[in-house]
């Protein structure tokens, strides 16, 4: 479920060692575009349940992981597959655009 809050401490187990592809929403509470994207990410988590794991990582509370993956702008949605980042989408975008990104990752 997308209510999965990922932290620097849980990142390896929840994301890198996950059998499913994982979408991580790098966000912050003060970020207006993040608040726009959040309900879209929630919907996508429900639609792709069982095929894709979705979680959120607060960049203010978890600076190590954000720095490790070069997150400079938020929202940044990074797709991980087999423990590696395979696609990044930056900025507020429409649901259809995110769905195209998910389908691309799932089919690769």
Annotated active-site residue in 23, 34, 52, 57: 34
Annotated active-site residue in 22, 31, 54, 77: 31
Our answer to whether residue 40 is catalytic in this structure is no
Our answer to whether residue 34 is catalytic in this structure is yes
Q: What is the DSSP string of 64-87?
A: HHHHHTT--SSSEEEEEETTEEEE
Task: Give the Cα separation of 35 and 19 in Å (integer).
Answer: 28
Handedness of CA 63, 59, 74, 97 (dihedral sign): positive
Q: Which residues are catalytic?
A: 31, 34
């Amino acid at each position: 479920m997308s209510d999965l809050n990922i932290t620097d401490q849980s990142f390896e187990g929840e994301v890198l060692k996950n059998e499913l592809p994982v979408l991580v929403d790098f966000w912050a509470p003060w970020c207006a575009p993040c608040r726009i994207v959040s309900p879209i990410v929630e919907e996508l988590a429900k639609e792709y349940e069982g095929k894709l794991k979705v979680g959120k990582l607060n960049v203010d509370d978890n600076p190590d992981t954000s720095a490790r993956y070069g997150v400079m702008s938020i929202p940044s949605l990074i797709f991980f597959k087999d423990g590696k980042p395979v696609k990044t989408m930056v900025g507020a975008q429409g649901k259809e655009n995110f769905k195209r990104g998910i389908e691309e990752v799932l089919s690769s």
